[in-house]
């Protein structure tokens, strides 16, 4: 086992300084592209189907997407305050580190690496490979799908190891391509008019107590589709004028994606209707099949591959900075804090991430539906740390009241309370409706306590002496 680096004794000002060993080469355009690229991945092409299946209602279906978008925007208001005062690599890990005891920060980083963040990379890579291989052959071995997903992860890991400037160019390219494709889907779907009958609820009076529960049950797929909006905060040390550009990129990116998602989902409903949507495996492909035939299915398959390819690329770029930040702080393997002397990228962190992503992809082959299984696995664990991250706005206002906050959360504390209530309701519903996968995610997270007890805290004690 690699020797851990010593825990550093850092002054309070460390959290808030802008000095970095990384290179600040990402402007507002690249940062905005990261936000859009990180959000728009596989979710909007696939999750509308399970959301419609769970809600069994057009109106409640829209309720999931609207509530998810509102919760995301409110969450961004909180993150804007945090990242403007702490423009450091690592995103939520940095905010938790400033707000809570080291063990909480460590467990969040541990869960991000072993459960949630690499799990999200695995899920989108699997969807890419499923789409690619199904275009070649209708029936494809799940092991071949896994092999293609693993190959994608390592290909993009290698691409991201050659410098942040190249990564920024890729973000801009994929953002443009995927937005163009989604706008084309909307345009095609309404080219033959509005199918009003498809917007009729298949059940009478869907807004019952059970209907409300279904919103939060389906929210794990809705939140997954919106997930990644905080991605630009992971590369805060590589953004020019980070205190201004990062909050601005969050608001512009999330607002744009929410509007686009509502248009896309309206296109799906218009073409398929609620029943066909609920039974669809890949709703985007099926809707274009209805609109313009087999050529539409081929075009959307290509669009999905472009979108998911770009999304995996973005995830690999931004998330590797967390493992780098953890190692730099003495909470992970020392080698992961190494910066490449020429490209100034955390390449050891990048490849460690790829290796564990491979493990999760292989593990997913044991499930009937690998994509949904991975989402169920990490949703509950992610929600716990999301609650803690949002709550850190309050904690840090008490802990560091005099620190400069270029942006302050609008509507505080009401905004923060609403965000926390939504997240807690989602967390409890997810635990109830996906109990076993949730326990697996929590169990893997708690193994970090053993590691922390025998390696991190022991190293810290040695350092004190």
Work out the angle at residue 334's Cα, subtended by the Cα atoms of residues 330 and 336, and round it to the nearest 5 degrees.
105
Q: Is residue 5 in some structural domain?
A: no
Q: Is residue 1 in some structural domain?
A: no
Q: Is residue 341 in some structural domain?
A: yes
Q: Is residue 186 in some structural domain?
A: yes
Q: Is residue 3 in some structural domain?
A: no
Q: What is the pLDDT of residue 1?
A: 36
Question: What are the pLDDT digits (tens) for 267-307?
Answer: 999 999 999 999 888 888 888 888 888 888 888 888 888 88
Radius of gyration of the chain (CA): 21
Whole-angstrom CA distances from 13 to 8, 17, 253, 338, 404 are: 13, 6, 30, 23, 11
CATH number of the domain residue 426 falls in: 1.20.1740.10
- Domain span at residue 372 reads 12-458
Q: What is the pLDDT of residue 167?
A: 63
Whole-angstrom CA distances from 159 to 143, 257, 282, 304, 319 are: 25, 26, 29, 20, 15
Q: What is the pLDDT of residue 390?
A: 94
Q: Is residue 365 in some structural domain?
A: yes
Q: In what helix (H) or strand (E) does residue 90 lie, and over which residues does it extend?
A: none
Question: What does each of the 465 residues of the chain score in pLDDT, given as a tens digit?
Answer: 333 343 333 345 566 666 666 667 778 888 888 888 778 877 888 889 999 999 989 999 999 999 999 999 999 999 889 988 888 877 788 889 899 998 888 888 888 888 888 888 998 899 899 888 887 877 778 889 999 999 999 999 998 888 766 666 766 777 777 788 788 888 888 887 888 888 887 777 778 888 888 888 898 888 888 987 887 787 778 788 878 888 888 889 899 999 999 999 999 999 999 999 998 888 888 888 888 888 888 888 888 888 888 888 888 988 888 888 888 888 887 888 888 888 788 889 999 999 999 998 998 787 776 667 777 888 888 889 899 999 999 999 999 998 888 889 989 999 999 999 988 988 998 898 889 988 988 998 899 898 888 877 655 554 544
Q: Is residue 465 in some structural domain?
A: no
Q: Is residue 440 in some structural domain?
A: yes
Number of domains in the chain: 1
Between CA 227 and CA 287 the distance in angstroms is 24
- Nearest CA to 418 out of 381, 393, 385 is that of 393
Work out the angle at residue 356's Cα, subtended by the Cα atoms of residues 463 and 131, and round it to the nearest 5 degrees.
155
Question: What are the pLDDT digits (tens) for 141-180?
Answer: 888 999 999 999 999 999 888 876 666 676 677 777 778 8
């Amino acid at each position: 086992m690699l020797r851990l680096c010593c825990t550093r004794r850092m002054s309070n000002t460390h959290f808030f300084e802008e000095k970095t060993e990384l290179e600040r080469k990402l402007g507002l355009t690249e940062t905005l592209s990261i936000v859009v690229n990180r959000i728009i991945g596989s979710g909007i092409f696939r999750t509308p189907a399970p959301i419609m299946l769970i809600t069994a209602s057009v109106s409640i279906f829209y309720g999931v997407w609207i509530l998810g978008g509102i919760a995301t925007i409110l969450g961004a208001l909180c993150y804007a305050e945090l990242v403007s005062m702490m423009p450091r690599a690592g995103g939520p890990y940095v905010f938790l580190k400033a707000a809570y005891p080291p063990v909480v920060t460590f467990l969040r980083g541990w869960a991000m690496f072993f459960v949630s963040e690499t799990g999200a990379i695995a899920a989108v890579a699997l969807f890419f490979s499923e789409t690619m291989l199904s275009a070649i052959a209708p029936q494809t071995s799940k092991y071949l799908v896994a092999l293609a997903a693993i190959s994608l992860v390592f290909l993009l890991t290698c691409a991201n190891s050659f410098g942040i400037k190249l990564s920024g160019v890729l973000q801009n390219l994929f953002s443009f391509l995927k937005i163009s494709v989604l706008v084309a889907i909307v345009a095609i779907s309404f080219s033959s008019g509005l199918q009003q009958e498809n917007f009729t609820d298949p059940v009478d009076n869907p807004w019952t107590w059970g209907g409300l529960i279904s919103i939060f049950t389906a929210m794990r797929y809705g939140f997954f589709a919106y997930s990644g909006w905080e991605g630009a905060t992971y590369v805060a040390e590589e953004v020019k004028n980070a205190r201004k550009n990062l909050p601005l990129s969050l608001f512009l990116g999330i607002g744009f994606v929410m509007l686009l998602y509502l248009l896309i989902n309206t296109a799906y409903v218009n073409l398929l209707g609620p029943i066909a949507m609920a039974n669809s495996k890949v709703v985007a492909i099926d809707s274009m099949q209805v609109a313009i035939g087999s050529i539409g299915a081929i075009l959307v398959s290509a669009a999905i591959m472009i979108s998911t390819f770009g999304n995996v690329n973005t995830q690999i770029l931004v998330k590797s900075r967390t493992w780098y930040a953890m190692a730099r702080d003495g909470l992970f393997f020392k080698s992961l804090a190494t910066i490449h002397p020429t490209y100034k990228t955390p390449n050891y962190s990048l490849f460690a991430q790829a290796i564990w992503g491979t493990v999760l992809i292989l593990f997913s082959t044991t499930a009937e539906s690998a994509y949904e299984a991975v989402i169920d696995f990490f949703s509950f664990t992610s929600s716990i740390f999301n609650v803690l991250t949002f709550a850190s706005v309050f904690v840090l206002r008490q802990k560091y009241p005099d620190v400069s906050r270029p942006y302050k959360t609008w509507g505080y504390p009401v905004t923060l309370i609403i965000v926390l209530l939504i997240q807690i309701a989602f967390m409890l519903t997810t635990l109830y409706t996906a109990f076993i996968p949730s326990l697996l995610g929590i169990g893997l997270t708690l193994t970090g306590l053993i590691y922390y007890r025998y390696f991190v805290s022991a190293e810290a004690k040695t350092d004190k002496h």
